[in-house]
Structure 1
Amino acid sequence: MKVYIGADHRGIDFKSTIKTIVGELGYAVEDVGTNSTASCDYPVIAQKVARGVLSAEGSRGILVCMSGIGQSIAANKVDGIRAALCYNTEAARLSREHNNANVLVLSSKFVDPDELPELIRIWLTTPFEGGRHERRINLIRDMEQGKVLNSNP
């Protein structure tokens, strides 16, 4: 599995640590930037990671910014991306089991650096449960295609 990794200027220190963790877990890493502390626009980074994930079957992405919120919003604008902002290991596990998240978004301010290795390991190794969750993922796909969803009974 290839993991596309990107961060804005507020996440580059975390990104370096993440690259090491992902590599030590045995995954291929592609760093899409930034590599500078100069202010940059996070949507550009989010789109690069999202396109990378969509270009290679089974690949995943990890994004970092100060809060994680901007990267989440930007990445989720790309059809086919299910980016999950996770501040802890439980959220990371659920994002995979229930939402089949293909992009993990992290906050360089709110995620404990000591939890980072376990959070990333859990997110990369937790399988999607399918079942009722698959139906919901399909509804999200329908939304991306502009379909109007029927209301719940």
Structure 2
Amino acid sequence: MLIAIGSDHTGVYYKYAINNFLIKKGYKIKDFGFSEQGKKVDYPDFIHPTANFVNEGKADFGIIICGSGNGAAMTANKYEKIRAALVWKKEIAILARKHNNANIISLPARFIKKNEIIEIVEIFLETNFEGGRHKIRIKKIPTNPQ
């Protein structure tokens, strides 16, 4: 399974921790994230390529990280096939996958601890979509539902 990951300067530390964890678990990584510490950057510059890669079907899932997680999620959700979920706790990770079939997890670096973020990512990637009534609801998300 291939995971795309992107982060701004606030997510660098977590990005490396997540990458190391995922590689140990056997996942392949495509890293679009910022790599330097101490320099500030604009999150869209790193989230757009990550979301686009997932949108084009080149990755199975995406992980995006910024300070609040909001800007990253808003940026990723501009793409037609993306359902980015802002997640800060395990229960939300489960529901984002089970009910929303989220394909990108957006993490708030300023509000989650390292041990929590790893567990949340693992839960997100290992939880399956339930389908059923949730599939019907997801079809209603686009701007012009048919």
CA drift of 1:80 comes to 1.0
Tell me the secondary structure at the aligned position of residue 11 of structure 1. helix
CA drift of 1:63 comes to 0.5
Structure 1 residue runs of 5 or longer lacking an equivalent are none
After superposing the two structures, state which structure 1 stretch, 93-102 or 105-114, moved more: 105-114
Tell me the secondary structure at the aligned position of residue 116 of structure 1. helix
Q: Residue 67 of structure 2 aligns with which residue?
A: 66
Q: How does 1:37-116 map to 2 (within 5 A)?
A: 37=37, 38-56=39-57, 59-116=60-117
After superposing the two structures, state which structure 1 stretch, 111-120 or 92-101, moved more: 111-120
Task: Among all aligned residue pairs of Structure 1 and Structure 2, give the percentage whose two residues are the same amino acid.
Answer: 39
In structure 2, how many angstroms separate the alpha carbons of the residues matched to 1:7 and 1:101? 18
* TM-score, normalisation: structure 2: 0.93
Larger radius of gyration: 1
**Contact 1:25-1:121 at 8 Å conserved across structures:** no
CA drift of 1:116 comes to 2.1
* TM-score, normalisation: structure 1: 0.89
In structure 1, how many angstroms separate the alpha carbons of the residues matched to 2:98 and 2:13? 28
Q: Residue 27 of structure 1 aligns with which residue?
A: 27
In structure 1, how many angstroms separate the alpha carbons of the residues matched to 2:50 and 2:73? 12
The residue type paired with residue 63 of structure 1 is I
**Contact 2:99-2:130 at 8 Å conserved across structures:** yes
After superposing the two structures, state which structure 1 stretch, 126-135 or 52-61, moved more: 52-61
Tell me the secondary structure at the aligned position of residue 18 of structure 2. helix
After superposing the two structures, state which structure 1 stretch, 26-35 or 93-102, moved more: 26-35
In structure 2, how many angstroms separate the alpha carbons of the residues matched to 1:45 and 1:58? 16
Corresponding residue pairs, total = 145
The residue type paired with residue 66 of structure 2 is C
RMSD: 1.5
Q: Residue 120 of structure 2 aligns with which residue?
A: 119
139 and 115 in structure 1: CA distance in 2 versus 1, 3 angstrom threshold: same
CA drift of 1:58 comes to 6.1
Structure 2 residue runs of 5 or longer lacking an equivalent are none
